[in-house]
Amino acid sequence: MNRIFVNRQKQFTPKLRAFYLTLGEPKHYNADDKLGSYSVSLSVDPEANADWINQLEELGEDLYTEYLDAAGKKKLQRRDPIIPMKNEEDREGNETGNVLVKFNAKANREKDGRMWAIDVPVLDTQGNRIPVDKVKLLSRGTEMKVSFDANAYYMSGVFGVSFKLRAVQVIEPVWRDGSPEDDFAGLTSEGFVLDDEEAAMSDFGA
C-alpha cells in the first residue's frame, strides 16, 4: 500500500498532569535508536475529562474513515484503542482509574546520512522558553498543556493514530531534586583525574 497522509494538525490538550515525561534531552531506547525521541504521557481522569476523551476517540474514527477512503479499502485491522491511550497503573501494577494519553516526537531527522535536530519547545505560561537545564528537572505531576498533531498510520498490517508532540506549556512545575551527576558537585577527593585532553572529550565536559 502506498504511503497515505491523513492527519489533523495543531490540536490541544486541557490542563493535565504528566505521568511520564522525557523532555530536554532525548531518550534512546536501544543502541540502534539513533534518532531518539521526546515524549509525554498525561494522566487523565476519564470522568472529569469525558468530553475531551470523546473528542479524541471521534478524531481517531474520522481519521480511520478518511484513511479507508484514500486507500480504497472497506476495512483494515486496527489498533485497540485506535488512539495512543491505555489504563494508568500505579507502581504495584494496580489500575488507578485514570488513563494515560501519550504524545511523542522523534528528536532527530536523518536524510542522506545527515542528522537534523527537531525542536520541541517547552514554554512557561507567558510563552518564554524554559532553559534546557530546567526542562530536564521537570518531574511527574507537572501540570501542563500539550499541542500535537494527530497522524494516521498503517504499520505491519495494523491501522492506528499517533499523537505527535509539537510543544509543551508548563502551568505548574514539579521539580526533581537534581541530576545524578550533581551528587558530587563541590566534593573533591584524592585519586583518579582525567587529563586535559580526556576531559575535553568527556560526554560530561571538563
For 87-155, the DSSP string reads EEE-TTS-EEEEEEEEEEEESEEEETTEEEEPP--EE-TTSPBPPHHHHTTB-TT-EEEEEEEEEEEEE
What CATH number should be reported for the domain holding residue 43?
2.40.50.140
C-alpha cell at 85: 491511550
Measured CA to CA, the distance from residue 146 to residue 27 in angstroms comes to 19
22-38 average pLDDT score: 91
Per-residue pLDDT band at 32 (split at 50, 70, 90): confident
Per-residue pLDDT band at 31 (split at 50, 70, 90): confident
Tell me if residue 84 falls in helix, strand or coil: coil
Domain that holds residue 135: 7-178
- Site of grid cell 531527522: 109
Residue 162 covered by a domain: yes
Beta bridge partners of 158: 155
Tell me if residue 61 falls in helix, strand or coil: helix
C-alpha cell at 111: 536524510
What pLDDT was estimated at residue 26?
A: 92
Containing H/E element for 65?
Answer: helix 50-71
Name the residue type at position 39: S
Residue 62 covered by a domain: yes
Per-residue pLDDT band at 202 (split at 50, 70, 90): very low
CA 123 to chain centre: 15
193-202 average pLDDT score: 54
Beta bridge partners of 153: 160
Residue 123 covered by a domain: yes
Residue 132 covered by a domain: yes
CA 206 to chain centre: 31
- Site of grid cell 472529569: 48
Residue 100 covered by a domain: yes
Rg (CA), the chain: 20
Question: Which residues have CB under 8 Å from 139's CB, separation 6+?
Answer: 21, 174, 175, 176
pTM: 0.83
- Tens of pLDDT, residue by residue over 124-141, are 999 999 999 999 999 999
Number of residues that this document lists for the chain: 206
Residue 87 covered by a domain: yes
Q: Is the pLDDT of residue 204 over 60?
A: no
Residue 84 covered by a domain: yes
Question: Structural domain tally of the chain?
Answer: 1
Residue 194 covered by a domain: no
- Tens of pLDDT, residue by residue over 179-193, are 555 655 555 666 676
Q: Is the pLDDT of residue 61 over 90?
A: yes
